[in-house]
Amino acid sequence: MQKDLMIGISGVRGVVGEGLTPEVLVKYSAAFGNFCKSRGRNTSPKVVLGRDPRTSGEMCKLAVLSGLLATGCEVIDIGICPTPTVQMAVEGLRANGGMVITASHNPIQWNALKFIGSNGTFLGTREAEKLYDSVKNNKINYQSWSGLGKVRSDHSWIEKHIQKILRLKYIDVKKIKRRRLKVVLDCCNGAGGTASPRLLKALGCQAIELFCNPDGNFAHDPEPRPENLVSLCQAVKKNKADIGFANDPDVDRLAMVSDQGVPLSEEMTLALAANFILRKKPESKVVTNISTSRMVDDIAKEFGSKVYRTRVGEAHVVQCLKEVKGIIGGEGNGGVILPELHFGRDALVGMAVILEYLAESETTITRLAADLPRYSMIKKKGKLTKSFERNLAKLKRKYAKEKINLIDGVRIDFEDSWIHIRKSNTEPVFRIIAEAKSKKRAKELVSESLDMLSRK
């Protein structure tokens, strides 16, 4: 059953009809139903369910419902919505847990299950392992006919999510409305189409919608990286917009295009958000993962703030944010976490913060981006081979005299650059990220590492 599945801190992912089958979906959903029941006092655990609109979503949803109902859960179906909306609904409804059916940025043939605990955050490593072990060991308890669960719908949570953002002390709705910002929005026909236009209109923006029909037929590669934002760049220039926003299919990642129609690195999303928040509350704590740009460190230093680094994965960042009482966190993939709203990556709050920054600064996104510390970053993927671990060990020996961090793969820090190599949580690949003051140096680091890691 485990074959061809990606199982880890980011949930359970697979290609539909291959690794991800109805049998797999039912098993993991039933295991999660048991997990929720073991963590709560209710005989009928309350579980919130939401999904992105990819075309396999309805099939997956029916299988998930079967697993949850068969274990006696009361399921609150909140429909097609952003992943962070499900997290907030779990908190707001005081549910025992939540599930999101989404493969996030993965291509359309993929789908996945994400598991949320009763506190509204994704399961940590130990909790996830306990859940997965119950499937592996087939320790799943089903209810008899008289103990089956029930399902009800509640489609009010997107509006509740938006209203909570509008009430944040960092967001001055009147000030943003006075700026009359023109925004082009690319939701790739994902769940953002159900929520993001509504948020922009509530903030008084002129929203020009691009691929905002939430039917799951992705208009382009769904990962919001610069090379996938060609149409957004063209639309920003054509409409003379102030900014372009791109959401991934489940709306936990945010990418931007400048008023000049230039795609901004996804690393700039957290950097700009942190720059804005730390201006309000200097000497605060920031949390991000070890794959995120040094821009965050430079910005924090300017405001007398401290940066904490974690393993890659939202759950790890959230755990540290709670422990150190951080004011903002996130990941360099465009994920912004603002604890004052909730402990989860959230493209909606990311957009609101950036728009507030534009309104207060009375300048352009081009100028705000230009004021950030300058680095060049190269991101590559490689195919995992049998010799990967052996070659990675050779790489560590080569740079043994440098500063090496092993909390998640291998990160090697040099004076003016760094490189990070790790196995992906979401795809059967390894990732290489290098950052340096010059593009040439970043390319050299990636090239040298790829060469060594690709040897047989």
**Among 335, 299, 408, 411, CA closest to 82:** 335
Residues 27 and 127 reside in one and the same domain = yes
Any catalytic annotation for residue 56? no
| Domain final position from 98, 132, 155 | 155
The encoded tokens of residue 91 equal 């908190």
Residues 343, 319 share a domain:
yes
Considering the entire predicted model, what is its pTM?
A: 0.94
Q: Are residues 323 and 386 in the same domain?
A: no
Looking at the structure, tell me whether residues 294 and 439 fall in a common domain. Answer: no
Q: Give the mean pLDDT of 89-109.
A: 96
Do both 174 and 289 map to the same domain?
A: yes
CATH number of the domain encompassing residue 426? 3.30.310.50
Q: Above 50 in pLDDT, residue 50?
A: yes
Q: Are residues 175 and 139 in the same domain?
A: no
- Output the pLDDT for position 381: 87
Work out the mean pLDDT of the chain and round it to a whole number: 95
Name residue 111's beta-bridge partners: 14
Judgement on whether residues 221 and 258 belong to the same structural domain of the protein: yes
From the centroid of its chain, how far is CA 167?
23
For residues 313-331, give the mean pLDDT.
96
User: Domain holding 221: CATH number?
Assistant: 3.40.120.10
Q: Residue 21: CB partners within 8 Å, gap ≥ 6?
A: none
- Residue 386's pLDDT band (cuts 50, 70, 90): confident
Q: State mean pLDDT over 374-384.
A: 90
Final residue before a domain boundary, out of 155, 186, 215: 155
For residues 129 and 83, state if they share a domain: yes
Instruction: Tell me the two tokens of residue 348.
Output: 């909606």
104, 258, 305, 417: which one is catalytic?
104
Do 141 and 26 fall within a single domain?
Answer: yes
Tell me the C-alpha to C-alpha distance, in Å, between residue 2 and each of 39, 269, 308. Answer: 25, 35, 34
pLDDT at 2 over 80: no
**What is the extent of the structural domain holding 385?**
376-453
**Cβ contact 281:287 at 8 Å:** no
pLDDT in the model for residue 1: 41
Among candidate residues 330, 354, 370, the one where a domain is terminated: 370
Residues 141 and 216 in one domain: no
Q: Can you tell me which residue has the tokens 């489940």?
A: 250
Q: pLDDT class for 399, splitting at 50, 70, 90?
A: very high
Q: Residues 402, 353: one domain? A: no
What pLDDT score does 3 carry?
Answer: 55
pLDDT tens digits, one per residue of 60-98: 999 999 999 999 999 999 999 999 999 999 999 999 999
Domain count, the chain: 3
Residue 180, number of CB atoms within 10 A of its CB: 11
Confidence class for position 9, pLDDT limits 50, 70, 90: confident
Q: Are residues 246 and 338 in the same domain?
A: yes
pLDDT 10s digits, 227-245: 999 999 999 999 999 999 9
